[in-house]
A and B are shown apart, each in its own frame.
Chain A
Amino acid sequence: MLNLNNIAKTYQTEKIETIALKNINLNINRGEFISIMGPSGCGKSTLLNIMGLLDEPSDGEVKVNGKSITSYHDKEMASLRNSKIGFIFQSFHLIQDLRVIDNVELPLLYRKISAKERRRLATAALERVGLKARTSHFPSQLSGGQQQRVAIARAIVGKPELLLADEPTGNLDSHMGNEIMQILESLHKDDKTTIVMVTHDDELAKRTERTIRVYDGQLIH
C-alpha cells in the first residue's frame, strides 16, 4: 500500500548538509505490523515522516496505493494525510487548550462529518483505548500513558489504513509502554490496520511481524 523508491533526504542548514536518508527502497504491504530500529540519529523519524507525508523527500518517489504523490498539491496531500494515515508521536502533541474529546475529534474536523457523528466516533475511539471516563479532561490533567492513549485515539478515529508510530512508548515507563503496545497489537489483529512503529525496545520489536533496521540513513538487511 505504500512504496518508497530510491528515497533520499538531506537537510540543508546554514553551513552543513546532513544526509539523513539515502537510497531507501521499501514496500509496506497492507495489514503488516512493522518495527523500525536503529541507533539515535540514523534517520528513523525522517523515514517515518516521509511515509506519513509530513515531510518531502529530497529525491525519490513515494507511492500511496500505487499512485505517485510527487505532483500532489497541498490540498491533495492534506486529504491523504487525513483519510489514509494516522500518526502517533513520541511527545503526544495534544492541544493543551482542548479537552480530550475535542483533541480526538480533531482529524474529523477536516472531513465532512456532522458534529454528532464526530462525537460518536471520538467516543468510540476513546473507548477503544480505555479512556471513556476521561473525555472532558484537559491533557494536562492526564498521565503520560493516558495522554499517549488519547493520541492513539486521535490517530485511529478516522479509521486510517496506515498507522505510523514514532517511539510511541519512548516517553513512558515499561508498564505503560506495554499497555500502548497491547492497543497497537489489537488494532493490528482486530482492525487489520497496517502499523509501522519506530522503537528502541528490542522486546517490542520482537512482537512485530517484521523489523527494518536503519543505519546511517540506509536500510540494512
Chain B
Amino acid sequence: MFSHIAKLIWNRKRSNVLIITEIVITFIVLFAIISATLHNYRLFNLPLGFNWENTWAIELNTGSRWNNETDKNQLKAIVEVLKQRPEIASVGLIRMGVFVNAHWRSSRPINGRESIYHSNMVDQDALKNWGVELVAGRWFGEQDNGQSYTEIVVNQLFVDEYLPDQDPVNFEFGDPEQPQILPMRIVGVFKDFRQQGEFSVPGPYMFTRYQIEEGHTYGVREINIKFKEPKTAAYEATLLKLLKSIAPNWEFNINSWEKRREQQIQNVVLPLGLAAVVVIFLLIMVAMGLFGVLWQNISRRTQEIGLRRAIGASERSIRLQIIGEILVLALFGISIAFIFLIQVPLLQLIELVSWSNFWFSLLASVSTILLIVILCALYPSRTAIKMSPAVALHYE
C-alpha cells in the first residue's frame, strides 16, 4: 500500500508541490509564532523583582545642561517636598526608569573574564521601597560615603554568571584600563530587578548609588513616587502644579508604572496577535489549497473512491489511503521546514529559541498541521465513502 501511495503522490507531483510549499511556509510561520508566544509567556511568568502598584514616574527634563548649584538644589527641594506629602509612601530616584526600553550596557573584566551587564543608578532606599528582595549583604548606606570603592548591588544572575564559586559580598573589581577610577565593591545581592518589564530576558544587572549631593552630570532622569493608596489621574494636575511651583524651568512628564506596563505588554501582545491572525489566514490558505488540489476535481475523486470500493476496497482502507497520502505530503513539507528551523537553535541564530522551546514549538506546530491536513483530506471524502459504489462511480 505504501508504494501505491508513493506512486500516486509522484504521479500527481505537480499539484503536490504546491501543497508541500504551502505546508512548508505555514509550518515555519506557525512555528515562529508558537515559539515567540511560548518564549514571551515563560518570560512573563518569571518574577519581576519589584512591585509596580501605586507608583508613578515623574520624568524630568531639566533643560540643556545640568547646573550643579541650581538644578541640584531644585531636585533636592522636590524630593523633600514630595517626601512630606501624607499620601506619598516613598520617593525614589532612578536613572533609567522601569518599563521603558532604555538600558545601559556596560562591561568590565571580573577574575580575568569580560563581564557584560546592564547598569543603572538609584538612590539609597529606592530598591527597598519598591519591594526588591535582598538575598545577601546589604543595600547601600551612609557607611559607604567617602570610601575607597564605588558601592554597588548586583542581582543573583550577575553572581551566578560571573562569581559562581565565590562569596560575592564585598567582592571588589576595578577597571584595568582606567586605574584612576575607584574599584567597584558588591555590598549586596538582590534577587532581580527586571527594569524593562515582564518580557525582558533576565540577565546580569547592577545598580550604583545615586546621591544628589554628588551631583552627577548625567544624574537621574526620573523621580518615582509610591502612594499609600491608589491615585486617580486627577491627582496628576495637583502634582504637576506642585512640581512647577518648585522648578518652574523644568518640564515634567507623569506616567504611572501601571500604564507603562500596560503599554509594554501591548507592544508585545499586539504584534503576536497580528502574527496569529496571519497564521490563521495561512492555515486557512493551506486548508483551502488542500481542498482545492485534492478536490478541485471532486467528481473525479468521488469516482475514484467508487471504483476502489467496486473492486473491493473497504471503507477503512480508503480512509487509510487518503490519510496516508496526505500524511506523506505533510511530513515531506514538515521535514523541509525542519531542516530550516533546526538551524535556529543549532547556530543560535536567535538566542530566544532555547532547545526546550524549540521542541515544544515543533511538536505543537506538527500536531496543528497534521490535524488540519487530515481533517481537510477526510472531510470532503466522507460523503463519497458513504455512497454506494454504483452512485459514486457515476458522480458528476
- Bound together: yes
Chain A residues, Cβ within 8 Å of B110:
none
Q: For the complex, what is the distance from the CA of A83 to the CA of B308, rounded to whole Å?
A: 13
Contact A78 B314 (CB under 8 A): yes
* Stretch from A27-35, A104-112, A190-198 at the B interface: A104-112
Interface residue count for A (Cβ, 8 Å)?
A: 32
Contact B311 A97 (CB under 8 A): no
Interface residues of A in 84-132 (CB under 8 A from B): 87, 89, 93, 95-99, 102, 106-107, 109-111, 115
Q: For the complex, what is the distance from the CA of A27 to the CA of B345, rounded to whole Å?
A: 72
Contact A56 B12 (CB under 8 A): no
Of A83, A87, A96, which one neighbours B310 at CB under 8 angstroms?
A87
Q: For the complex, what is the distance from the CA of A41 to the CA of B220, rounded to whole Å?
A: 96
B41 to chain A, nearest CB (A): 45
- Does A149 reach chain B (CB closer than 8 Å)? no
Chain B residues, Cβ within 8 Å of A99:
7, 11
B382 to chain A, nearest CB (A): 14
Q: How many pairs of A and B residues are in contact by the CB < 8 Å rule?
A: 76
Q: For the complex, what is the distance from the CA of A99 to the CA of B10, rounded to whole Å?
A: 12
* Stretch from A47-55, A63-71, A171-179, A207-215 at the B interface: A47-55
- Does B240 reach chain A (CB closer than 8 Å)? no
The contact string, 1 if C-beta is below 8 Å from chain A, for chain B 1-27, is 101100110011000000000000000
Chain B residues, Cβ within 8 Å of A15:
none
Contact A54 B310 (CB under 8 A): yes
- Does B317 reach chain A (CB closer than 8 Å)? yes
Residue on B with the closest CB to A45?
Answer: B390
With most chain B CB atoms within 10 A of its CB, the pick from A54, A78, A158 is: A78
Residue on A with the closest CB to B307?
Answer: A93
Contact A98 B312 (CB under 8 A): no
Chain A residues, Cβ within 8 Å of B125:
none
The contact string, 1 if C-beta is below 8 Å from chain B, for chain A 175-206, is 00000000000000000000000000000000
A194 to chain B, nearest CB (A): 18
Contact B7 A78 (CB under 8 A): no
Q: How many interface residues does chain B have, given as a range? A: 20 to 34
Given A78-B309, A89-B393, A109-B4: A54 and B314 interface contact (C-beta under 8 Å): no
Contact A83 B390 (CB under 8 A): no
- Does B315 reach chain A (CB closer than 8 Å)? yes
Residue on A with the closest CB to B303?
Answer: A93
Q: For the complex, what is the distance from the CA of A158 to the CA of B390, rounded to whole Å?
A: 20
Q: For the complex, what is the distance from the CA of A82 to the CA of B303, rounded to whole Å?
A: 17
The contact string, 1 if C-beta is below 8 Å from chain B, for chain A 113-157, is 001000000000000000000000010000000000000001000
Given A54-B388, A107-B311: A98 and B11 interface contact (C-beta under 8 Å): yes
- Does A79 reach chain B (CB closer than 8 Å)? yes
- Does B313 reach chain A (CB closer than 8 Å)? yes
- Does A74 reach chain B (CB closer than 8 Å)? yes
Residue on A with the closest CB to B313?
Answer: A110
With most chain B CB atoms within 10 A of its CB, the pick from A97, A99, A107, A158 is: A97
Contact B311 A75 (CB under 8 A): no
- Does A81 reach chain B (CB closer than 8 Å)? yes
Contact B390 A98 (CB under 8 A): no
With most chain A CB atoms within 10 A of its CB, the pick from B11, B312, B390, B391 is: B312
A141 to chain B, nearest CB (A): 13
Contact B4 A55 (CB under 8 A): no
Contact A154 B311 (CB under 8 A): yes
Contact B312 A97 (CB under 8 A): no
Contact B314 A74 (CB under 8 A): yes
Given A87-B311, A93-B307, A98-B11: A54 and B316 interface contact (C-beta under 8 Å): no
Chain B residues, Cβ within 8 Å of A102:
4, 7
Chain A residues, Cβ within 8 Å of B8:
97-98
Contact A52 B310 (CB under 8 A): yes
Q: For the complex, what is the distance from the CA of A115 to the CA of B3, rounded to whole Å?
A: 9
Known: A74-B316, A95-B304. 8 other contacts (CB 8 A): A54-B388, A78-B317, A81-B309, A81-B389, A82-B312, A102-B7, A107-B311, A109-B1
- Can you list 9 residue pairs at the A/B interface with Cβ under 8 Å? A55-B391, A74-B316, A75-B316, A78-B317, A87-B310, A89-B393, A93-B307, A98-B7, A111-B312
Please list the 6 inter-chain residue pairs (A to B) with the smallest Cβ-Cβ separation, ordered nearest first. A82-B312, A78-B314, A55-B390, A54-B390, A49-B390, A97-B11
